[in-house]
Structures are given as structure tokens and as C-alpha cells.
């Protein structure tokens, strides 16, 4: 979906020095740009104007390319096709001898975490910690995790 005309006035700058690139909104209040430590004596500043925004399905499980179409405006008509890196895979890799059916330590650890829903409980406790910002965060986390264990 193309955004409305309000996005056409949004300006951005890109600052590149060596392999470092920074992109930010360009505002009238911007007086100074912090430069990364240069590996060379030259840098590049590019100025961009947003002409539209599109939402694109990048789920590798969805088959096929995603077409993005743009019609009209001062940039002309164009179409690009996007395909997630995982969307087009070559032939399956050969397994190492004896690896078939054998679970690695990582597989066993992941199974354990999923079985006991550790990741979701720790995630919920961390979100609550950041939301409430208690004076004793360790005690808060311990109580939150023990409380979720009782449920």
C-alpha cells in the first residue's frame, strides 16, 4: 500500500564513512552530524526524499516473489520483485554420517526450554521489570519467575 502525500515531504540523509553508514531523518534543527572514526579522508552524504512506503511479506515460508509496483509521481512507474533469502533454496545439504536421528546438545536444550516455556516466562518477567522499574530488580525477577511457576 502506498502511503499518502504526507510522506512525500519526509527527508532523510545518509552519511557514509568507510564501511559505516548512518541514516536519519533530516530536520531543520540538525546542525552537527557526528562522524564515525574515519578510515579514509572521504565520506559521502546523500539526501533522500520518501516518495512512498510499502509493506511486504518477508516470511520465507510464503512461496514465490513479492512484487512491489509504483505507478506515477515524479519518479515514474516501476516494479521490483523481492524474494526472501530462505524462499529459494537449493538442494538439501547432505547430512554427516551418523547424524541422522541423533540430537545435538543444542536441540536437547531447545526442547527443554520449549517444554517448560522458559523463554516466554523470562520474557514476560523482563517486560514487567522494564514496565515497573522496581528498586530491587533481581528480587522482582525472582518473585516474578516464582509466581509464574505457581500458575
Q: What is the pLDDT of residues 49-85, one digit of tens each?
A: 877 777 777 776 777 777 777 776 677 777 888 776 6
* Cβ neighbours, 10 Å, residue 24: 11
H or E stretch covering 135? none
CA distance 56 to 83: 10
> Residue 150's pLDDT band (boundaries 50, 70, 90)?
low
DSSP secondary-structure letter at 11?
E
Length reported for the chain: 151
| Phi, psi dihedrals of residue 41, rounded to the nearest 5° | -90, 0
Task: Please state the pTM of the whole predicted model.
Answer: 0.37
Domain extents in the chain: 5-49, 56-85, 105-150
Among all chains, which residue has been given the C-alpha cell 516474578? 144
Which backbone phi and psi does 67 adopt, to 5 degrees? -95, 135
Question: Quick one: angle between helices 118-132 and 137-150, nearest 10?
Answer: 140
Residue reference for cell 512525500: 8
pLDDT of residue 9: 59
Distance CA(110)–CA(116), nearest Å, equals 10
Lowest mean pLDDT among 21-25, 29-33, 127-131: 29-33
Amino acid at each position: 500500500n502506498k502511503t499518502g502525500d504526507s510522506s512525500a515531504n519526509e527527508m532523510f540523509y545518509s552519511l557514509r564513512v568507510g564501511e559505516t553508514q548512518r541514516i536519519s531523518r533530516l530536520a531543520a534543527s540538525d546542525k552537527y552530524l557526528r562522524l564515525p572514526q574515519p578510515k579514509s579522508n572521504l565520506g559521502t552524504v546523500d539526501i533522500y526524499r520518501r516518495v512512498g512506503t510499502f509493506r511486504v511479506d518477508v516470511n520465507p515460508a510464503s512461496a514465490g516473489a513479492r512484487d512491489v509496483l509504483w505507478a506515477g509521481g515524479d519518479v515514474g512507474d516501476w516494479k521490483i520483485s523481492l524474494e526472501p533469502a530462505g524462499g529459494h533454496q537449493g538442494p538439501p545439504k547432505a547430512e554427516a554420517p551418523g547424524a541422522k536421528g541423533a540430537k545435538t546438545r543444542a536441540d536437547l536444550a531447545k526442547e527443554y526450554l520449549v517444554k517448560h516455556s522458559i523463554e516466554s516466562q523470562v520474557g514476560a518477567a523482563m517486560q514487567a521489570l522494564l514496565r515497573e522499574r522496581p528498586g530491587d530488580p533481581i528480587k522482582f525477577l525472582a518473585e516474578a519467575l516464582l509466581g509464574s511457576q505457581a500458575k
